[in-house]
Amino acid sequence: MTTLRTERLTIRPWQPEDRPALERMVRDPEMMRYVTQGRTWSDEAIDEMLERQQGHLAKHGVCFGAAELSETGEVIGLVGLQQLDDGEFELGWWIWKEHWGQGFATEAARAFVDHARDVMGLKTLVAVIDPPNTASKAVAEKLGLRFECIKSARETIARREDMPIAFFRMQL
Protein backbone atom coordinates (compact mmCIF):
# COMPACT_ATOMS: atom_id res chain seq x y z
CA MET A 1 0.00 0.00 0.00
CA THR A 2 1.27 3.37 -0.85
CA THR A 3 1.49 5.37 2.31
CA LEU A 4 -1.22 8.03 2.17
CA ARG A 5 -0.74 11.40 3.80
CA THR A 6 -3.33 13.97 4.76
CA GLU A 7 -2.99 17.30 6.50
CA ARG A 8 -2.66 15.63 9.92
CA LEU A 9 -2.31 11.89 9.30
CA THR A 10 -0.12 9.24 7.74
CA ILE A 11 -1.91 5.99 6.83
CA ARG A 12 0.35 3.01 6.21
CA PRO A 13 0.44 -0.80 6.46
CA TRP A 14 0.56 -2.30 9.94
CA GLN A 15 3.99 -3.00 11.42
CA PRO A 16 4.70 -5.49 14.23
CA GLU A 17 5.45 -2.62 16.62
CA ASP A 18 1.87 -1.31 16.09
CA ARG A 19 0.30 -4.34 17.76
CA PRO A 20 0.03 -2.77 21.26
CA ALA A 21 -1.96 0.14 19.84
CA LEU A 22 -4.32 -2.26 18.04
CA GLU A 23 -4.67 -4.42 21.16
CA ARG A 24 -5.60 -1.36 23.22
CA MET A 25 -8.45 -0.61 20.84
CA VAL A 26 -9.88 -4.10 20.30
CA ARG A 27 -9.78 -4.94 23.99
CA ASP A 28 -11.85 -1.89 24.95
CA PRO A 29 -15.60 -2.72 25.01
CA GLU A 30 -16.53 0.90 24.31
CA MET A 31 -14.35 0.93 21.18
CA MET A 32 -15.84 -2.36 20.02
CA ARG A 33 -19.50 -1.59 20.67
CA TYR A 34 -20.21 -0.87 16.99
CA VAL A 35 -17.82 -3.49 15.62
CA THR A 36 -18.68 -6.61 17.61
CA GLN A 37 -21.48 -5.32 19.83
CA GLY A 38 -18.92 -4.73 22.59
CA ARG A 39 -17.18 -8.11 22.51
CA THR A 40 -13.42 -7.69 22.72
CA TRP A 41 -10.93 -9.63 20.61
CA SER A 42 -8.67 -12.50 21.60
CA ASP A 43 -5.03 -12.74 20.52
CA GLU A 44 -6.17 -15.13 17.79
CA ALA A 45 -8.73 -12.63 16.45
CA ILE A 46 -6.07 -9.91 16.37
CA ASP A 47 -3.68 -12.23 14.52
CA GLU A 48 -6.43 -13.15 12.06
CA MET A 49 -7.26 -9.50 11.34
CA LEU A 50 -3.61 -8.58 10.80
CA GLU A 51 -3.09 -11.61 8.53
CA ARG A 52 -6.26 -10.76 6.58
CA GLN A 53 -5.04 -7.19 6.09
CA GLN A 54 -1.63 -8.44 4.91
CA GLY A 55 -3.51 -10.63 2.42
CA HIS A 56 -5.52 -7.66 1.15
CA LEU A 57 -2.31 -5.67 0.84
CA ALA A 58 -0.54 -8.42 -1.12
CA LYS A 59 -3.51 -9.06 -3.43
CA HIS A 60 -4.92 -5.54 -3.95
CA GLY A 61 -2.24 -3.12 -2.79
CA VAL A 62 -4.54 -1.71 -0.09
CA CYS A 63 -5.74 -2.72 3.35
CA PHE A 64 -7.12 -1.27 6.56
CA GLY A 65 -3.87 0.44 7.57
CA ALA A 66 -2.58 2.12 10.70
CA ALA A 67 -3.56 5.80 10.90
CA GLU A 68 -0.98 7.79 12.79
CA LEU A 69 -0.65 11.44 13.72
CA SER A 70 1.98 12.82 11.37
CA GLU A 71 3.34 15.14 14.05
CA THR A 72 3.94 12.50 16.72
CA GLY A 73 3.74 9.07 15.05
CA GLU A 74 1.03 7.99 17.51
CA VAL A 75 -1.29 5.37 15.98
CA ILE A 76 -4.84 6.66 16.53
CA GLY A 77 -6.87 4.21 14.49
CA LEU A 78 -7.16 2.28 11.29
CA VAL A 79 -8.53 3.38 7.96
CA GLY A 80 -8.51 1.93 4.49
CA LEU A 81 -10.01 -0.39 1.93
CA GLN A 82 -10.58 -4.13 1.88
CA GLN A 83 -12.27 -6.35 -0.66
CA LEU A 84 -15.46 -8.05 0.51
CA ASP A 85 -16.58 -11.56 -0.42
CA ASP A 86 -18.75 -10.19 -3.23
CA GLY A 87 -15.79 -8.40 -4.85
CA GLU A 88 -16.72 -4.89 -3.81
CA PHE A 89 -14.31 -2.72 -1.85
CA GLU A 90 -15.26 -1.58 1.63
CA LEU A 91 -14.09 1.78 2.91
CA GLY A 92 -13.65 1.50 6.66
CA TRP A 93 -12.48 3.57 9.60
CA TRP A 94 -11.95 3.11 13.36
CA ILE A 95 -10.56 6.01 15.33
CA TRP A 96 -9.50 5.62 18.96
CA LYS A 97 -12.07 7.15 21.32
CA GLU A 98 -9.59 9.76 22.60
CA HIS A 99 -9.64 11.25 19.11
CA TRP A 100 -13.37 11.09 18.30
CA GLY A 101 -15.04 14.25 17.08
CA GLN A 102 -11.91 15.82 15.59
CA GLY A 103 -12.54 14.97 11.92
CA PHE A 104 -9.82 12.33 11.63
CA ALA A 105 -12.11 9.62 10.21
CA THR A 106 -13.45 11.93 7.48
CA GLU A 107 -9.98 13.25 6.64
CA ALA A 108 -8.39 9.81 6.35
CA ALA A 109 -11.31 8.14 4.59
CA ARG A 110 -11.45 10.97 2.02
CA ALA A 111 -7.82 10.17 1.10
CA PHE A 112 -8.88 6.58 0.39
CA VAL A 113 -11.88 7.69 -1.68
CA ASP A 114 -9.47 9.70 -3.85
CA HIS A 115 -7.01 6.78 -4.01
CA ALA A 116 -9.76 4.31 -4.96
CA ARG A 117 -10.95 6.56 -7.79
CA ASP A 118 -7.71 8.08 -9.07
CA VAL A 119 -5.19 5.27 -8.55
CA MET A 120 -7.19 2.03 -8.42
CA GLY A 121 -9.81 3.06 -10.97
CA LEU A 122 -12.69 1.78 -8.83
CA LYS A 123 -16.20 2.89 -9.77
CA THR A 124 -17.93 2.26 -6.43
CA LEU A 125 -17.15 1.91 -2.74
CA VAL A 126 -19.28 0.56 0.07
CA ALA A 127 -19.25 1.00 3.84
CA VAL A 128 -20.81 -1.31 6.43
CA ILE A 129 -21.89 0.41 9.63
CA ASP A 130 -23.67 -0.75 12.78
CA PRO A 131 -27.08 1.01 12.48
CA PRO A 132 -26.89 2.78 15.89
CA ASN A 133 -23.47 4.27 15.03
CA THR A 134 -24.65 7.77 14.14
CA ALA A 135 -21.12 9.21 14.08
CA SER A 136 -19.94 6.74 11.42
CA LYS A 137 -23.12 7.24 9.41
CA ALA A 138 -22.43 11.00 9.47
CA VAL A 139 -18.86 10.39 8.22
CA ALA A 140 -20.20 8.18 5.42
CA GLU A 141 -22.67 10.83 4.34
CA LYS A 142 -20.00 13.59 4.43
CA LEU A 143 -17.93 11.46 2.08
CA GLY A 144 -20.82 10.99 -0.34
CA LEU A 145 -21.85 7.45 0.61
CA ARG A 146 -25.61 6.92 0.63
CA PHE A 147 -27.63 4.46 2.70
CA GLU A 148 -28.74 1.49 0.62
CA CYS A 149 -30.15 -1.21 2.91
CA ILE A 150 -29.82 -3.23 6.10
CA LYS A 151 -28.03 -6.57 5.66
CA SER A 152 -26.87 -9.40 7.87
CA ALA A 153 -23.24 -8.92 8.87
CA ARG A 154 -22.54 -12.49 7.78
CA GLU A 155 -22.95 -11.37 4.17
CA THR A 156 -19.51 -9.70 4.21
CA ILE A 157 -16.00 -10.87 5.04
CA ALA A 158 -15.50 -7.97 7.42
CA ARG A 159 -18.31 -8.76 9.87
CA ARG A 160 -18.73 -12.39 10.87
CA GLU A 161 -21.13 -11.84 13.74
CA ASP A 162 -24.82 -12.26 13.04
CA MET A 163 -25.86 -8.65 13.52
CA PRO A 164 -27.60 -6.15 11.26
CA ILE A 165 -25.43 -3.66 9.38
CA ALA A 166 -26.34 -0.54 7.46
CA PHE A 167 -24.93 -0.83 3.96
CA PHE A 168 -23.81 2.43 2.29
CA ARG A 169 -22.60 2.90 -1.30
CA MET A 170 -21.05 5.64 -3.39
CA GLN A 171 -20.30 6.06 -7.07
CA LEU A 172 -16.81 7.40 -7.76
pLDDT digits (tens, 9 = 90+) for 59-86: 888 888 999 999 999 999 999 998 887 7
> In the predicted model, is pLDDT for residue 31 greater than 90?
no
Is the CB of residue 131 less than 8 Å from the CB of residue 165? yes
CATH number at residue 54: 3.40.630.30
Coil vs helix vs strand at 53: helix
Rounded Cα distance between 126 and 104, Å, is 19
Q: How confident is the model at residue 118 (pLDDT cuts 50, 70, 90)?
A: very high
Q: Which domain holds residue 133?
A: 4-171
The count of domains in the chain is 1
Is the CB of residue 161 less than 8 Å from the CB of residue 112? no
pLDDT for 99 equals: 95
Rounded Cα distance between 23 and 169, Å, is 30
Average pLDDT, the chain: 88
Alpha helices in 61-103 (DSSP H): none
